[in-house]
C-alpha cells in the first residue's frame, strides 16, 4: 500500500496499484464514479462457479452498485490529473 496524492486537487488516498489474481477472487483497487471513494475490492472470478461471481462489487463508501471502475493507479478520480505516490510502502 502507498499513499497517493493528486497533483491537481486535494484528493488523496491509500492504495495499491495493480490487480492480484487469485483462484476464486482477484483483488483490485477500484474507484467509485459516484463518490470518488477508492478502496481495494475482491472481484469474484466468473469462471470459478462461485455464487458471488454473479454479483458485482458494491462501493464501500456510498453503496453504489454501478459506480465502480478499476483504478489505473495514475488518474485522479476527481479531476483526471495524474496522482503521485509519496513515501514508503505502508504495512496494513
Ligand atoms: Zn485531482
Ligand atoms: Zn461510492
Q: Which residues pair with 20 in a beta bridge?
A: 27
- Give Cα 4 distance to the centre of its chain: 12
Q: What is the pTM of this model?
A: 0.84
Mean pLDDT of 2-10: 95
Is-contact 52 44, C-beta < 8 A? yes
pLDDT at 23: 87
Q: Which domain holds residue 44?
A: 17-77
Examine residue 87 and state whether it is found in any structural domain, yes or no. Answer: no
- Report how far ligand 1's centroid is from the alpha carbon of 59 (Å): 20
CA distance 74 to 72: 6
Local confidence band at 21 (pLDDT 50, 70, 90 cut-offs):
very high
37 inside domain: yes
Let me know if residue 49 belongs to a domain.
yes
Pair 4, 84: CB distance under 8 Å: yes
Top pLDDT among 52 and 71 is at 71
Joined together, the cell numbers standing for residue 86 give 509519496
How much is the average pLDDT of 23-52? Answer: 89
Nearest ligand to residue 31 Cα: 2
Ligand nearest to the CA of 66: 2
**pLDDT for 82:** 97
- 48 Cα to the center of ligand 1, angstroms: 37
pLDDT in tens, 74-85: 999 999 999 999
Q: Domain total for the chain?
A: 1
Amino acid at each position: 500500500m502507498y499513499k497517493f496524492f493528486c497533483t491537481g486537487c486535494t484528493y488523496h488516498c491509500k492504495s495499491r496499484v495493480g490487480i492480484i489474481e487469485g483462484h476464486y477472487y482477484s483483488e483490485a483497487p477500484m474507484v467509485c464514479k459516484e463518490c470518488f471513494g477508492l478502496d481495494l475490492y475482491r472481484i469474484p472470478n466468473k469462471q470459478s462457479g462461485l455464487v458471488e461471481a454473479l454479483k458485482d462489487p458494491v462501493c464501500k463508501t456510498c453503496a453504489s452498485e454501478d459506480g465502480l471502475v478499476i483504478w489505473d493507479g495514475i488518474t485522479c478520480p476527481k479531476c483526471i490529473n495524474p496522482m503521485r505516490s509519496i513515501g514508503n510502502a505502508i504495512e496494513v
